[in-house]
Amino acid sequence: MKHSFSFNFWLRRDVRSDKNEGYISARITLNGKRAEIATGFKIDADRWNVAAGGAKGNKEDARTINVQLTAIKNRINEIYLELRKHQPGLLTAELIRNTYFGKTGKQRTLMELFDYHNTHMQAQIGKDYALGTYKRFETCQKLVQAFMLHQYGKSDMHLSELNHEFVTNLEFYFKTVRSCAHNTTIKYITNLRKIIHLALINEWLDKDPFVKFKCTIKETKRDHLTEEELHLLREKTFPTNRLSQVRDIFLFCCYTGLAYADVEKLSPNQIGRGVDGKHWIFTDRTKTKTTSNIPLLSPALAIFKKYHDDPEAVNKGRIFPVTSNQKMNAYLKEIADLCGIAKTLTTHVARHTFATTVTLTNGVPLETVSSMLGHKNIKTTQIYAKVVQKKISHDMDKLEQQISTKTQADLKESAG
């Protein structure tokens, strides 16, 4: 790894003194970043050789100063060469200065912090964390490391080097070099923020680089199926069992609001009788760990009964033979084409459909929908309510046009 390194002395004028004198300071410059050292020596400005970076003349005090400055320069060069040999990826002007002053205590790095966090998270997969959550942080670590190589030419940085500029540069990198959408960028940065919070609470970092950075998610369009599209899916006959199974599992999610992770792990012991004597789902959401109790509507109950003895599902101790999320989404695109549905179907569209078309549109109270979806905050559910309100507004506009047209026709007929 190449470094641009320089070291020189300069005279800092003493503004508190009426005399024409100043303090001799040393400046370490590495890859454009600076760190300064106060030598403790003071000299008249007329006796300072700017070009040579030393005291002029052969007087004893001048010789003494120059000998000391040479010793400092030699020591700094030794430190630079030693650190470049053993810690090239972490070498900074600040590290050279701290080493010179004997401040060689353990400085944690960003990649060490990621490793610490991710190792602990990996050990808790299936307990406090889902595998998908761990993989997201693993991906975040790789992307942040790629950013540091791109922006700073090194694969790791000390936590003390992180600042607001680092965060804003990272945001710019995600949006330009990586071509990430705004919300994707913010999700990656939010993951990094959680890592940094760990360093703050453990007192490995003094200042929060995120203190002035706002992580704001933009509201996006949430596709959902209409009642007509749901009917198309229910009635469609598919050429392969593979597509039929994916359609059935997708429809089950449309009528229960389960996310992919929750329907994939759904087991027989999570289906029971509710206070009304009917079949209910009793589960905790994988993502939020919140309780989600959902009565099975008749279409969902029919699908549940259809698969109650499926060999693949029974062998895994599950309700359905669910394939990977990636394959599910690929098959759903094929299903959408066969049904003539001009929407990008994903497993999450089913959850949106339950919230809008199946429940809120049919008058189910917002609080009830929020509980069934397992939302921690009802504000999350209100996003779906806005979608329903827009649909109602659109339908009412169409009705208003029909009434207006009919009224005008009646007026003309009366006038005639």
Task: Convert the pLDDT of each residue in 141-170 to its tens digit.
Answer: 999 999 999 998 888 888 888 999 999 999
Task: Report the C-alpha gap between 28 and 245 in whole angstroms.
Answer: 66
Higher pLDDT: 73 or 412? It is 73
CATH number at residue 326: 1.10.443.10
For the question of whether the overall pTM of this predicted structure is more than 0.85, the answer is no
Answer yes or no: do 283 and 346 share one domain: yes
Answer yes or no: do 381 and 272 share one domain: yes
What pLDDT was estimated at residue 408? 72
Burial class (CB in 10 A: 0-12, 13-18, 19+), 344: exposed
140, 192 in Cβ contact below 8 A? yes
- Checking if the pLDDT of 366 tops 90, the result is no
- Checking if the pLDDT of 382 tops 80, the result is no
Instruction: Lowest mean pLDDT of 46-50, 238-242, 386-390, name the range.
Output: 386-390
The amino acid present at 209, given as its one-letter code, is P
Instruction: Lowest mean pLDDT of 63-67, 312-316, 324-328, 392-396, name the range.
Output: 392-396
What pLDDT was estimated at residue 178? 93
Name 304's Cβ contacts closer than 8 Å, sequence gap at least 6. Answer: 252, 271, 279, 296, 319
Task: Report the C-alpha gap between 101 and 106 in whole angstroms.
Answer: 14
Mean pLDDT of all residues in 45-72? 91
Task: Report the C-alpha gap between 336 and 354 in whole angstroms.
Answer: 18
Answer yes or no: do 84 and 116 share one domain: no
Residue 282, SS3 per DSSP: strand
Local structure of residue 357 (DSSP, 8 states): I
Instruction: Lowest mean pLDDT of 24-33, 95-104, 298-307, 395-404, name the range.
Output: 395-404
Answer yes or no: do 115 and 151 share one domain: yes
Mean pLDDT of all residues in 351-369? 88
Higher pLDDT: 106 or 359? It is 359
Q: What is the pLDDT of residues 13-40, one digit of tens each?
A: 765 666 788 889 999 999 888 889 888 8
Mean pLDDT of all residues in 363-384? 82
154 is a domain residue: yes
Where a domain ends, among 142, 166, 201? 201
Answer yes or no: do 370 and 248 share one domain: yes
Answer yes or no: do 195 and 323 share one domain: no
Answer yes or no: do 370 and 283 share one domain: yes
Answer yes or no: do 171 and 39 share one domain: no
148 is a domain residue: yes
404 is a domain residue: no
As given in the structure block, the two tokens for residue 148 are 């540091």
- Checking if the pLDDT of 61 tops 70, the result is yes
Residue 43, SS3 per DSSP: strand
252, 263 in Cβ contact below 8 A? yes
Answer yes or no: do 259 and 388 share one domain: yes
Q: Are strands 54-55 and 21-30 parallel, antiparallel or unpaired?
A: unpaired
Mean pLDDT of all residues in 326-330? 92
Give the range of the structural domain holding residue 22, as residue numbers without chain letter.
5-100
Phi, psi of 109 (to 5 degrees): -110, 165
Task: Report the C-alpha gap between 246 and 157 in whole angstroms.
Answer: 46
What pLDDT was estimated at residue 409? 67
Answer yes or no: do 196 and 255 share one domain: no
Measuring CA to CA, how many Å separate 140 from each of 133, 143, 197, 207?
11, 5, 15, 22
Answer yes or no: do 83 and 164 share one domain: no
What pLDDT was estimated at residue 221? 66
As given in the structure block, the two tokens for residue 212 are 């002035």
- Checking if the pLDDT of 69 tops 90, the result is yes
- Checking if the pLDDT of 105 tops 60, the result is no
Task: Report the C-alpha gap between 70 and 258 in whole angstroms.
Answer: 71
Nearest C-alpha neighbor of 347 from the set 416, 255, 254: 254
- Checking if the pLDDT of 391 tops 70, the result is no
107, 160 in Cβ contact below 8 A? yes
Nearest C-alpha neighbor of 130 from the set 293, 261, 22, 306: 261
Task: Categorize the per-residue pLDDT at 220 as very low, low, confident or very high, splitting at 50, 70 and 90.
Answer: low
- Checking if the pLDDT of 390 tops 70, the result is no
CATH number at residue 154: 1.10.150
Answer yes or no: do 91 and 121 share one domain: no
What pLDDT was estimated at residue 158? 87
Could you tell me what percent of the chain has a pLDDT over 70?
92
What pLDDT was estimated at residue 94? 83
Residue 225, SS3 per DSSP: coil
399 is a domain residue: no
What is the rounded average pLDDT for all residues in the chain? 87
Mean pLDDT of all residues in 66-91? 87
Q: How many domains does the chain have?
A: 3
